[in-house]
Amino acid sequence: MSDPVLELVGVSRHYREGDARLDILVEVDFSLVPGQTVALIAPSGAGKSTLLHIAGLLERPDAGEVKINNAPTSTMSDDARTKLRRNSIGFVYQFHHLLPEFTALENVALPQTINGLDRAEARRRAKDLLDYLRLGPRALHRPGELSGGEQQRVAIARAVANAPALLLADEPTGNLDPRTAEHVFATLMTLARASGLAALVATHNLELANQMDRRVTLRDGRIVEMD
């Protein structure tokens, strides 16, 4: 089996609320291999977003190690973590967070130019990606001119524009009607299967979760396999 894209080893995170201590993640061990799609299904407040933030190097755990492509990140500087995040990790949220003044094409090109790619090349690649996701005819529209499902598919295109190894998604279809959710989800699965992208997707949608390779939940701060 291939080496994991993401590995969490003994990851713990707690918050303080007054005198109380909330143990959100307790010595979590988890790994995800290339091309694998995993649904994270747990009630609100269980710690899904905390886990995704830590896995995505947006937050540091109190204890434990997060490895991205075998590289331990706990001893990296914030700059090194940012660089690794930009190159290797894509995020999709419940709300698309596209820049309203820019076209779909520009939104998808932007992360690539931030990463140092020439503007024309970034636009060409953004167009290819939008075409691949059958959003080509919408490329020159601004987010406000797109449907909810199209906005979310553009957000997915933006998340994978730098060809990350890992996609982290926090209820990406949570705001969509069932049919649109199915379409957006199909976009994620197409990308994972075509490119070897590994995905960890927090979702409440069991029907979609059942189409993924693995289902896990958070129980008392630990990750537990569901089947």
Binding site for ligand ADP (CB under 6 A): 15, 22, 24, 42, 44-50
3-state secondary structure of 26: strand
Kindly state the smallest distance separating residue 127's Cβ from ligand ADP, in Å: 34
Q: Which is nearer to ligand ADP, 87 or 175 (CB)?
A: 175
- The whole-angstrom separation of Cα 139 and Cα 153 is 12
Closer by beta carbon to ligand ADP, 91 or else 135:
91
Smallest separation, CB 21 to ligand ADP (Å):
10
Q: Which is nearer to ligand ADP, 23 or 213 (CB)?
A: 23
- C-beta of 44: minimal distance to ligand ADP in Å? 4
For residue 49, the minimal CB distance to ligand ADP (Å) is 3
CA-to-CA distance for 56 and 67, rounded, in angstroms?
A: 10
Nearer to ligand ADP, 48 or 158 (CB): 48
CA angle 96, 153, 132 (to 5 degrees): 150
- Tell me the sheet residues that pair with 63: 12
Q: Where are the alpha helices (DSSP H) in the chain?
A: 48-55, 78-88, 104-114, 119-132, 148-159, 178-195, 206-209
